């Protein structure tokens, strides 16, 4: 085995497709046009290392929101022989409900969150205002879990770009949220970027046009520049919700594809 980490990146579609206005995915464009989106999380594998990027959400939340296409992320990992309780590293790209509420499904994982993201959602009074506090943005149960872990060894608050283990670097990429982080991953094809909701679709990156739910538009565009410069090629820059991650890559198991 090579001493240089070269991770395999798997996209796990655990819910969807959902029909959305294109204006949600491409800010202010084509309000009457409908497109599809999926809910994903990702798994990075190299040798004995396994890192989960984002956590989805638990069954209770799926039932409350009547998401009939939902599959428990624990079951999704089982399809590739991974047990959720064995996961040691969980990167939360940001704390919106569809990416972070499932942190409770990984009881033994160390959680990596940007400090700016954590502080906004747990400490800033503005986060209690209606546009941020609505249930379609955040999940209070997961925020309470993170608050309880604040001084524990299980929660790692990152201050900007940081290599968390060899071959896996978290990159501060705000704009969609206060402290969204992307994940740069060493692969056999070069450096791949899991950008999560820095772009909801591949088209966001191609057209230099963010999606809706904007925290800071100027910061978001700077994050696009940063992630493009970091990726070894445009083909290795992955978004958060694009159905093409399911249809255009090699299938590993039901609703699981290998991106790199």
Please indicate, yes or no, if residue 208 is contained in any of the structural domains.
Answer: yes
Q: What pTM does this model have?
A: 0.96
The pLDDT, as a whole number, for residue 3 is 67
Please indicate, yes or no, if residue 59 is contained in any of the structural domains.
Answer: yes
Please indicate, yes or no, if residue 185 is contained in any of the structural domains.
Answer: yes
CA distance 69 to 74: 15
Taking CA 167 as the corner, what is the angle to CA 166 and CA 170, rounded to the nearest 5 degrees? 95
pLDDT tens per residue, range 165-187: 999 999 999 999 999 999 999 99
The pLDDT, as a whole number, for residue 1 is 43
CA distance 207 to 203: 6
Look up the domain containing 129 and give its range.
Answer: 8-258
Report the number of distinct structural domains present in the chain: 1
What Cα–Cα distance (Å) separates residue 169 from each residue in 65, 90, 186, 193? 33, 13, 9, 9
Taking CA 49 as the corner, what is the angle to CA 115 and CA 76, rounded to the nearest 5 degrees? 85
The token pair at 109 is: 């994982």
Question: Cα-flanking dihedrals φ and ψ of residue 142, to 5°?
Answer: -70, -35
Please indicate, yes or no, if residue 2 is contained in any of the structural domains.
Answer: no
Taking CA 227 as the corner, what is the angle to CA 221 and CA 228, rounded to the nearest 5 degrees? 90
Please indicate, yes or no, if residue 3 is contained in any of the structural domains.
Answer: no
Please indicate, yes or no, if residue 179 is contained in any of the structural domains.
Answer: yes
The pLDDT, as a whole number, for residue 195 is 98
The pLDDT, as a whole number, for residue 231 is 98
CA distance 17 to 19: 7
pLDDT tens per residue, range 17-63: 999 999 999 999 999 999 999 999 999 999 888 999 999 999 999 99
- Residue 45 burial class via C-beta count within 10 angstroms: exposed 0-12, middle 13-18, buried 19 and up: middle
Burial code of 201-213, b = ≥16 C-beta within 10 A, e = fewer?
bbbbbeeebbbeb
Please indicate, yes or no, if residue 65 is contained in any of the structural domains.
Answer: yes
Pairing of strands 89-91, 49-53: parallel
The pLDDT, as a whole number, for residue 141 is 81
Please indicate, yes or no, if residue 129 is contained in any of the structural domains.
Answer: yes
- Residue 4 burial class via C-beta count within 10 angstroms: exposed 0-12, middle 13-18, buried 19 and up: exposed
pLDDT tens per residue, range 138-155: 888 888 888 899 989 999
Helix (H, G, I), strand (E, B) or coil at 90: strand
Helix 140-148 and helix 115-123, axial crossing angle in degrees, nearest 10: 110
Q: State yes or no: pLDDT of 81 exceeds 80.
A: yes
CATH code (residue 158): 3.60.15.10
């Amino acid at each position: 085995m090579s001493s240089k980490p070269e991770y395999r990146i798997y996209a796990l579609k655990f819910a969807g497709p959902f029909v959305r206005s294109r204006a949600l995915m491409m800010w202010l464009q084509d309000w009457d046009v409908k497109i599809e989106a999926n809910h994903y999380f990702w798994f990075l594998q190299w040798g004995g290392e396994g890192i989960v990027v984002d956590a989805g959400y638990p069954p209770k939340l799926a039932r409350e929101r009547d998401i009939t296409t939902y599959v428990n992320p624990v079951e999704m990992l089982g399809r590739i022989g991974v047990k959720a309780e064995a996961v040691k590293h969980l990167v939360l790209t940001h704390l919106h409900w569809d990416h972070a509420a499932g942190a409770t499904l990984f009881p033994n994982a160390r959680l990596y969150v940007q400090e700016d993201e954590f502080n906004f959602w747990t400490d800033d009074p503005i986060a209690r205002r209606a546009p941020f506090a609505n249930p379609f943005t955040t999940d209070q149960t997961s925020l309470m879990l993170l608050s309880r872990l604040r001084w524990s060894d299980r929660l790692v608050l990152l201050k900007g770009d940081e290599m968390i283990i060899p071959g896996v670097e978290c990159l501060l990429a705000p704009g969609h949220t206060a402290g969204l982080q992307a994940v740069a991953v060493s692969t056999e094809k070069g450096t791949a970027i899991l950008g999560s909701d820095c772009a909801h679709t591949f088209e966001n990156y191609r057209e230099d046009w963010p999606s809706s739910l904007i925290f800071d538009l100027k910061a978001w565009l700077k994050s696009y520049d940063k992630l493009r410069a970091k990726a070894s090629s445009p083909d290795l820059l992955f978004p958060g919700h694009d159905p093409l991650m399911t249809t255009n890559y090699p299938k590993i198991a039901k609703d699981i594809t290998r991106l790199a």
